[in-house]
Each structure stands twice: as C-alpha cells, then as structure tokens.
C-alpha cells in the first residue's frame, strides 16, 4: 500500500528463474512469509511442485531499507491459515478474489540479507 511492492523469484521446472510482483506478501511468523495467490491455476503454484525455492526482494527507498528473503514455499490448505493469509492481504488484493478461490502459500525463511550482510541463515535448510 506504500507503493513499495515485493518482488518474488521462483524457479521453473527447466531451471529458468521467474520474477513477479506480489501485493499480498506479508510476515506470517518470526521465520515465515506468506502470499495469497489469487488464481489457483497460476504458474507459481505449478513451479512450486518442481522447486519450492523462492526469493523475495523488498525495498523502501524513502526509508533507505531493503531486504532479501530466501526460503522454501509450500501451499497450505489449512482453513485457519488460509483465512489468516487472506485477511492480512491488502483490501485491494482481497477485492480481486472475493470468492477466496486462491491459495495460501507459506515460505519458510532460510536466509535474510540486508545491505549485503546476512542477518539470518539456517544451518540446515531442508
């Protein structure tokens, strides 16, 4: 909503990286991000079956901050998690999927980088 969209990268089955904006990107827990994927037929959900690896880039030039998040994504069908991820998406994004036909995706964070410095890294990402 501040005009600083999150850019997400995922990997296709052939190894080709793909990038996209995600207006629903949100902190889900201390070591998880979440996104709401409005279209269940969207390519991201197919890409996750080939490789769960994703990376996210957030930059806010007004505040002079930028973060990279690297992790493993998975589709979550639990009704409470789905409801939470949808509810925490901006209203504009919710209006794009009023029937809530989309999918909740959780990303378990393995590494966080800011200003070229690794702030967090799991010893043994699965």
Q: Where are the alpha helices (DSSP H) in 13-122?
A: 43-50, 79-87, 91-95
16-73 tens-digit pLDDT: 999 999 889 999 999 999 999 998 887 899 999 889 999 999 998 888 889 999 999 9
In this prediction, residue 7 has a pLDDT band, given cuts at 50, 70 and 90, of very high
Question: Which residue ranges form the domains of the chain, and what is each CATH number?
Answer: 6-121 (2.30.110.10)
Whole-number Å distance between alpha carbons of 69 and 82: 21
In this prediction, residue 97 has a pLDDT band, given cuts at 50, 70 and 90, of very high
What would the mean pLDDT of 3-18 be, rounded to a whole number?
89
- Count CB-CB contacts under 10 A for residue 7: 15
Quick check: 124 pLDDT over 90? no
- Across the chain, where does the E strand assignment appear? 6-11, 17-22, 26-29, 32-37, 53-60, 65-76, 103-114, 117-121
What percent of the chain lies above the pLDDT cut of 70? Answer: 97
């Amino acid at each position: 909503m501040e005009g600083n969209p999150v850019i997400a990268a995922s990997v296709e089955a052939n190894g080709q990286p793909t990038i996209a904006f995600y207006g629903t990107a949100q902190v889900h827990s201390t070591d998880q991000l979440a996104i709401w994927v409005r279209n269940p037929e969207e390519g991201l959900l197919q890409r996750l079956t080939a490789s769960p690896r994703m990376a996210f880039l957030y930059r806010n030039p007004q505040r002079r901050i930028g973060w990279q998040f690297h992790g493993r994504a998975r589709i979550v069908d639990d009704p409470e998690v789905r409801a939470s991820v949808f509810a925490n998406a901006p209203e504009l994004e919710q209006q794009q999927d009023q029937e809530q036909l989309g999918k909740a995706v959780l990303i378990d964070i393995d590494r966080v980088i800011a200003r070229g410095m690794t702030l967090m890294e799991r010893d043994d990402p699965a």
